[in-house]
Chains A and B, each alone.
Chain A
Amino acid sequence: MVQQAEQQALQQQFRYVGKRIPRVDIVSKLTGAAVFAEDVKVPGVLYGKLLHSPHPHARIVRIDTSRAEQLPGVRAVATAADLPDKRVGRVVKDEHYFARDKVRYVGDRVAAVAADTREIALEAVRRIEVEYELLPPVRDAFEGLAAGAPIIHEDLLRYTVVGPAKPQGGNLCSLNSLTRGEPEAAFGECARVFEQVYTTQMQHQTYLEPHACVAVYNPDRTYTIHTANQGQFPLRNAVAEVLGVPQNQVRVVPAEIGGGFGGKSIMKIEPAAAVLAKKAGRPVRIVMSRHEDFIGGNPRAAFHITLKTGVTADMRMHARTIDVVMDQGAHAMGAGAMAASVTQFAEGPYAIPNLRITSRLVYTNKACTSAMRAPGGPQINFALESETERICAAMGWDGIEFRRRNAMPTDYVNTAGGVNRSVFTLDTLEACLALSGYRHDRARLGPNRGRGLALGNWNVGGNASGAVIKMNGDGSVNVIGGVVDLSGVNTTMTQIVAEALDVPLERVTVKSLDTDSAPHATNSGGSQVLKSHGLACFKASEHIKAQLFELAVDELDASAERMELKGGQVRVQGEPSRAVAVTKLLSQAQGKTGPIVGYGATGNSPRMPSMAAHVADVEVDPETGQVKVVRYCAAQDVGLAINPMSVEGQIHGGVAQGLGQALCEQFTYRDGQPQNAGFLDYKIPSALDVPMIETTLVEKPSVAGPYGAKGVGEPPVVPVPAAIANAIYNAVGVRVTSLPITPEKLRQAIREQERGGGA
């Protein structure tokens, strides 16, 4: 009740923020008018196609493109020979864009062609002759760590490292570790110590739209690239690096994007299209097939997590070690950064005085894993929150009381040494318990039904971002940003600017512009846009206000500090009659200061936990092991929901994606060969598999975001696998410790229990 009143008071302060505003792009999306990368029309465009390695690990002896070049209609063929001999990468520079000496996974880029038609391009790709000398593949992380394993990057220790990765040699791309207290000694002080291994699978982002781009080489020797990427600036920088040109010579134009979930935060086909466009002297379009998108994608990494937890008699976690081995794939990509970030949030939603987190990132001959919605989050959380319930079951403790006692408080000094501000662990937990009636009818769910709880966090950071606002003569504004409009970004920014300048929504236009036009900005990912770019937009609005107030000083005969902007007027606070129309100030500005343009920027900001608490009700068919999710409740700590409708949509989508990870999705390899690179074989949940999802938003303002808002996109995917695993345990009394919990795996566990072998 208190909380509700607080929330209402919070919302009543605002006119545009906190409101359920329909997305500004809704009409163009629904009518099909929205222009996606594949739709970009450029005269004379050629069809580009890549040649991918069919082998997981092989030395390239010879590449002969002559038969492809001779095919009529082929306009260009590109290989590593057309690019500077330079390794690139965002964390460890471990990759030639086109394979040079070796191929390291099925799907590695070997060459590309541009041709008049798609059919000619396909035929040309078939005509490229590559002689390979096959090498034994490293099939998983433990094989990669074993003595005598084939080495994927012989020169690893000579590679340039630009991110937080710490290469160790062999196939160990990075070893990261963080410690607080003395966990080993502290285990000795515990009443009981638990150990368990949890494993998770490789999961693909399965965005609706495969990667697509159009590249143009301009007469002034610059490149223009239209693409479906999550960030025009990071992509531009990556492409410029591959091509070996200065960043100003690459202009990336963001297209509408059909989903990304992190999978489009990596450069993919863009450099190939650019180099082909230059060679052919004509624009080139490349659209990946779904098969290519699977084999050449950047899925979520499979984790092997060893947890050791010591508890005291008074229900406290006193010591814990977390050892994570990550199956990274052939190149470091974003996974290199993940190794480090995982160590920062693996403490989870808890305060544990003695803690060590170690992560090992291992090269394998598979697709290069990278960011996927809350990278590392659901994997670690599956282990942490499964273990919470396992410990409580063994000790006869109440899981909720246990969580209450161990919950991370606000202003907590985290294991990395930073301070976690605005942490609302218990508020989120209580909100979920209330929403779901957690205890209420738990005993009356029916046979083979069970209810599971999980509490999770995702620590939202923020990257440098700038925004520009131009105020027009009639007081309307154009907001120029360099952030891709993903999951409602432009709508949210519209609300923030409308609120800050008190102008109606229809007088605010937000555009995500190309890299020549917009100030540098972060990519749309990691739930950070609101905290970084949202704040930049807010500050740019403040900058506009400051200029207007300065102009009004003479007119109102008051100092700028005493002024406010309300309803198209600058007024003296508390004296509404002392006011001047903004339009008047704007026309005066023409003769004085010139155009009114606001600029706002934010630098990188530290990660802050956003909490999510989920409760799932499942029904298990013990004979088949099939799991039906019958009800789902999610509470989330969102600071303030700038647009509650958008936030709820993020929660619904996150839960659905999490259910896929929990129950059915798994990208599999056998001896380095992908086994299910398509939607027939790679199963994602459909509308028929996902129950109604009930949500509740915990709105306690954060110290960091605009209007107290927090990032919301990642947290809802984090607790799902653990909530499902816990619900299954409560339904049939068996605990599955590896994801996904397929019917077969669960049936196996139930059979073992039937035979009396179960734990």
Chain B
Amino acid sequence: MDDFTYHAPATVAEALALRAEGGGAARYLAGGSDLLLAMQRAEPPVARVIDLKGIAALREIRVAADGGVALGAAVTMAAIERHAHLLAHYPALVAAAAAVGGPPIRNRATVGGNVCNASPAADTSPVLLALGARAVIAGGGGERELPLAELWSGPGRLTLLDGELLTAVRLPALPPRTGCGFQRLTRAAMDIALVSAAAVCTLDRGDRITAAACALGAVAPTVLAVAGLGAALAGSRADAGTLARVEHLAAAAARPIDDHRASAAYRREMAGVMARRAMAEACDRARATSGGAA
């Protein structure tokens, strides 16, 4: 990884042009906390590095009038951790950001890098997925948007077209009485998740679930939404029986592997436990919110 050129464009357009010129040996760099490790093994070697942190627009957290949020791709975990609106309305995202590495890593690591590295264990991804986030993408042909789930095609693989750039992750506004939760299991503190789960739910005045979603990390080739969970839970009371259904559905949805960190069977069981706990957290927070997210 010794001979590469470094570029610090000031605009997205410049970044796209540099990337197009550099071809397959060029890479976008955000915090570099994944990229630098990947560069040590990259074949063919990386010849051009395009640093996105100089692009002001990518470092912004924009709160819309309805309370929804656009997170610039180069927003760091540390910035998420101390953002008042995110702390108030998306505490699960803050918890996930705060779970990434140690403080020095969180000062560099970005949400765009976390998403684009496409690790199934990425901590912010399950929360973003459960919240129904959309990816905003810039490319030669202009801007487009996709549901986040459609961005990942496998471990470390994206559906982005060659040279395309993630500019932001858009979080929809949350309906009233909506809460979110995030849980992760590791072997020791400061570890990549063995299993993680995020949950979102909306309750009506009678404590019945009107909408719910759950996403799992580290139990499939990509971060995974638990399919059919919203429909299965709709109308049911947010009680222990419902949480047991969440556990069951999540464990059934998981497609984990065996490795030296844990067996597939354990990961599957834990996917259920983490999902249940995340959903319990989400329900508690939904009850605690008085009105809408705005």
Contacts and interface: CB of A to CB of B under 8 A. Distances in A.
Nearest to B192: A680
Given A624-B185, A747-B266, A681 B273 contact: no
Contacts of B262: 742, 744
Interface string A595-635: 00000000000000000000000000001101000000000
Contacts of B65: none
A668 interface: yes
B2 A119 contact: yes
A689 B189 contact: yes
B185 A676 contact: no
Nearest to B37: A680
B2 A663 contact: no
A623 B269 CA distance: 9
A681 B190 contact: no
B2 A688 contact: no
Interface in A99-142: 119
B84 interface: no
Contact of B190 (A119, A688, A742, A748): A688
Contacts of A507: none
Contact of A686 (B185, B188, B273): B188
B187 interface: yes
Interface in B162-193: 185, 187-192
Contacts of A663: 188
Contacts of A645: none
Given A624-B185, A743-B185, A681 B270 contact: no
B5 interface: no
B187 A683 contact: yes
A664 interface: yes
Contacts of A689: 188-189
A668 B260 contact: yes
Nearest to A670: B260
Nearest to B2: A119
19 contacts: A119-B2, A624-B270, A624-B273, A663-B188, A664-B187, A664-B188, A670-B260, A680-B192, A681-B260, A681-B261, A683-B187, A685-B188, A685-B189, A688-B189, A742-B187, A742-B262, A744-B266, A747-B269, A748-B266
Nearest to A747: B266
A515 B189 CA distance: 43
Contact of B185 (A626, A680, A685): A626
Interface in A636-670: 663-664, 668, 670
A688 B262 CA distance: 21
A684 interface: yes
Contacts of A664: 187-188
A70 interface: no
A366 to B, nearest CB: 14
Nearest to A623: B273
A747 B263 CA distance: 12
A676 B260 contact: yes
A149 B191 CA distance: 38
Contacts of B259: 675
A684 B260 contact: no
Nearest to B247: A623
Interface string B96-125: 000000000000000000000000000000
A373 B189 CA distance: 24
B269 A683 contact: no
Given A624-B273, A668-B260, A684 B187 contact: no
A681 B260 CA distance: 8
A576 B194 CA distance: 72
Contacts of B194: 743
Contacts of A748: 266
- Looking at A623, A675, A685, the one whose CB has the most chain B CB atoms below 10 A away is A623
Interface in B1-50: 2
Nearest to B277: A623
Contacts of B261: 681
- Looking at A624, A626, A668, the one whose CB has the most chain B CB atoms below 10 A away is A624
Interface string B250-294: 000000000111110010011001000000000000000000000
